[in-house]
Amino acid sequence: MLMSEKVLRRLDYKPLDYTATKVDLNLRLDLPLTRVSSKILVKALNPSATSFVLDGQKLNLISLKLNGQVWTDYTLEKLDGPDGFEKLHVDVSSLEQRDEFVLEIENEFNLETNLAMSGIYLSDQVVVSQCEAEGFRRITYYFDRPDCLAEFTTHIEAKDSYQYLLSNGNLIASGKLEDGWHFATWHDPFPKPCYLFACVAGNFDVLDDKFVTKSGREVKLRLFAEPGRLEEIRFAMEAIKRSMKWDEERFDLEYDLDIFMVVGVGYFNAGAMENKGLNIFNESLLIGNKDTSNDQNLFLIDSVIAHEYFHNWTGDRVTCRDWFQLTLKEGLTVFRDQEYSADTVDRTIQRIKNASQIQTYQFNEDKSPLAHPIRPDEVESQDNFYTTTVYEKGAEVIRLLHTLIGEENFQKGMKLYFARHDGKAVTCDDFVDAMADASGYDLSHFRLWYSQSGTPEVTVTTSYDAETKTQDVSFSQVTPPTFDQKDKQPLTLALKTNFLTADGRTLSNLTTTTGEVVPELIVFSEQSYSFTLANVPEKLTIVTNLDFSSPVRIKQELTSAELANIAANSQNLFAKYNAFNEYYNSLYTLNEQAFTANPKVELVVDQYFMEIYQNLFAHALENPGITAEILSFHSAAKVIAGLNKAVDPVVYSRIDKAIKEKIYQTFAERLLAIYQALPLREWEYKAEHFGERALRSELLSLLTITGNNLELVESLENKATCFNDREAVISAVADNDLTSLRYLLDKFAKDFVKHPTSLDVLLTLLIKNAKSVEQIEEILAQAPQFDLNKPNSVYTLMGGLRANYNVFFADNGLSYLKDLIVKIDKNNPAVAAYICRFFARYDSYLEPHRGRILKVLADLVQNYQLSKNTTEILTRTYKASLA
């Protein structure tokens, strides 16, 4: 039902009246009830305040003491709603010394019934914690906000059956207790907010190693994984050491504790968590090697390990004042992990992936009812801050800042940022201040990127005068109104630009009619920027926003001939990739009307189809990775996500298949020749090898799309040297419905029966290609690893379902989605809310799909009492649909 939740606003921030400076936390981990006792040194920040409020959720308060005495001047407020939120109001007006005192709280919570995977909960047989953003309140009553930084000592007691007892910092004591119990005590000398607290108890395979820092300190490294998976965490260990070395070399940042630990668990909502000294990972982003994970997942393992490790400084040592400042740590750290991947793997491929994520997901968020700036202004649930806008667009804003001031000044700014704010909780403005002061740049207008939502649209226009041999060039920007903000201002943009002749030459050092040299990086903060090129012998094609130098949508009328020229001749690989995609998108527009009227109509292509793809395949082996990225864009899902109009997804999926069949029919011999020329090497973690394997996978799919070349599939199955090739086999069989080879799907399932993350790859393919909801339910019933209470299972199901347009957009497909949301929300609001973000894209689809989506949305809003997380997403979307 439609509920009105309290709106939290950034500008309403108020400092705490009282804060914690030291915490002694005792956890007795037992089933079903875990007992918690905390001793907190509380300090008054506002001498006139006579009370304070602590947060709790689904706790049972046993006792409360102040300075060792039982204290009864408190009120426990139970908030309305299904989430179980509590406020513990403590009155200290009668306390003689209020400037500093000791608060002791004893409470308990039910470990077994906590299925939200927030606070401390069970992941199979492992006790594990997740406290960001507001999970610590599920453990004990506390100041559950990021601006309360305290030094933690954690004492854990558990039965001997839990071999390892882990927490933040350094181990200072351990030993045996009575009745088959034991203990471990950890001390973290660095003050931290409670969202960085971590606790783990369980049995693991452990991989030990060490890293010697640049100052000569030896840091012990420990990785913990489910028993039997030891060989699958060796790759992760190497990734940790690469990350530590890179952060020393690029950012001059050294690790600060004696030990760095990482634990992988099966039940985890997020990808990973940067708890100080004890990172906790979803096993899908920690466990894997060449035999059980594809290249893309190993790349993700590498980058996510880097991301969480980099948080040690950008997030842990310097954290956020409040959750509205989340991009302070996340945007910056995403930028840092992207740079790590660019430096250690391949910069162009990395840039393509980053830009694609923004164009595919974040641009859509900007035009939806969920639009918000990278530093949001209001929210109902703090958990709903974790978005592509805050993370990925936040990283692009940091990258734009880096582009404007340069690497040297950026590093000066980082050093000043740490010098000023180490050990503090600060704001986005504090970060920009450090960058401005260190670089000398005036960044006052740049700050608008933090407060303004939406995607800037840059229109590029040009006209050529053959008589005067001049060419007028104009860039104009506008940010369309968003649901949260109607009025927009021009932003600071930096567009990397070059100019291409008709015969493919890139011209540089061009001058304007006023005698100025046109810079490669065009920077402007006004609504428009124009100039006139002088002494131009012919009309030049403007190729702009190279390497996605600004997170904007370019609106430019390029002909197929110009796109073909860029694709063939641009010296910038990102520009080549983008030109191919623009042309590919144009094929959908060209065929949309005909395929809507007749699903079996023949695909129409223009005269440049042959030229563009002939050029691509002629040079395919020069950079297999780029070729693979171009071909991997060939999917209806990516095309639809990048469009700025409503479409029929079922029609687009038909066009998608028709284009791929056309490519195969036109270039079959060349595709086969390229496929056969690709070497089948022993696996190595190298960009060149990634590219070869990715291209082999894309080509195998094309070569078998009409049911031909089946011998290639069986041959690759027999010769495969890694999981990536095994996945190429089952993808071709499942996606192209190669009935005679379906035995290979069964073989894959048997080979990986002990590897749930590997089986999820097959499960996604089966769901994606199912013919009905009923068939999907049959597939799930036969999948041994599937558990609706497990986030990875839900993500797998949704990945396959969302890609299956024929089933998903049918009436019973959307009803199936509704039932899933209701079931999942009862236990795990964070995952349910994540699924509900789909509804915000209702206006991307034509009727009857839009109507079906809105019908299900209205049903959820009007007839179900859901969690605060889920309700916020649904009601914002529902209200927008009524406007």
Predicted confidence at residue 151, as pLDDT, reads 99
> How many whole angstroms separate alpha carbon 499 and alpha carbon 506?
6
Query: Is the pLDDT reported for residue 81 higher than 90?
Result: no
Q: What strands, in cross-sheet order, belong to the sheet with 51-57?
A: 51-57, 85-91, 74-78
Reported confidence tier of residue 1, pLDDT bands at 50, 70, 90:
very low
In this structure, are residues 408 and 441 in contact, taking their beta carbons and an 8 Å threshold?
A: no
Q: Residue range 839-843: average pLDDT?
A: 96
Predicted confidence at residue 110, as pLDDT, reads 98
Q: Residue range 667-683: average pLDDT?
A: 98
Predicted confidence at residue 474, as pLDDT, reads 99
Whether 457-557 and 18-203 are alike in CATH topology: the answer is yes
Q: Whole-model pTM? A: 0.98
Q: Identify the CATH class of 457-557.
A: mainly beta
Q: Residue range 821-832: average pLDDT?
A: 98
Instruction: Determine whether domain 558-752 maps to CATH 3.40.50.10860.
Output: no
- pLDDT digit string, tens, across residues 489-533: 999 999 999 999 999 999 999 999 999 999 999 999 999 999 999
Query: Is the pLDDT reported for residue 722 higher than 90?
Result: yes
Instruction: Give the DSSP letter of residue 315.
Output: T
- pLDDT digit string, tens, across residues 379-413: 999 999 999 999 999 999 999 999 999 999 999 99
Query: Which listed CATH number (1.10.274.50, 1.10.390.10, 2.40.50.100, 1.25.40.10) goes with 321-451?
Result: 1.10.390.10
Residues near 340 by beta carbon (within 8 Å), at least 6 away in sequence: 242, 243, 246, 247, 250, 303, 306, 310
Average pLDDT, the chain: 97
Predicted confidence at residue 543, as pLDDT, reads 99
Query: Is the pLDDT reported for residue 4 higher than 70?
Result: no
Query: Is the pLDDT reported for residue 371 higher than 60?
Result: yes
In this structure, are residues 255 and 312 in contact, taking their beta carbons and an 8 Å threshold?
A: yes
Predicted confidence at residue 850, as pLDDT, reads 97
Predicted confidence at residue 3, as pLDDT, reads 46
- Residue 399: its H or E element: helix 394-421
Among the listed residues 274, 283, 308, 339, the single catalytic one is 308
Structure token pair of residue 635: 């999917």
- Residue 322: its H or E element: none
- pLDDT digit string, tens, across residues 545-576: 999 999 999 999 999 999 999 999 999 999 99
Residues near 541 by beta carbon (within 8 Å), at least 6 away in sequence: 499, 500, 501, 502, 558, 562, 565, 566
Provide, rounded to the nearest whole percent, the portion of the chain with pLDDT above 70: 99
Predicted confidence at residue 2, as pLDDT, reads 47
In the chain, what are the domain boundaries? 18-203, 321-451, 457-557, 558-752
Q: Hey, what CATH topology would domain 18-203 get?
A: Immunoglobulin-like (2.60.40)
State the burial class of residue 534 (Cβ atoms within 10 Å of its Cβ: 0-12, 13-18, 19+): middle
Predicted confidence at residue 5, as pLDDT, reads 58
Reported confidence tier of residue 727, pLDDT bands at 50, 70, 90:
very high
Residues near 297 by beta carbon (within 8 Å), at least 6 away in sequence: 284, 285, 288, 757
Is 274 assigned a catalytic role? no
CA angle in degrees (0–180, nearest 5) for 265-268-274:
85
> How many whole angstroms separate alpha carbon 768 and alpha carbon 49?
59
> How many whole angstroms separate alpha carbon 222 and alpha carbon 484?
45
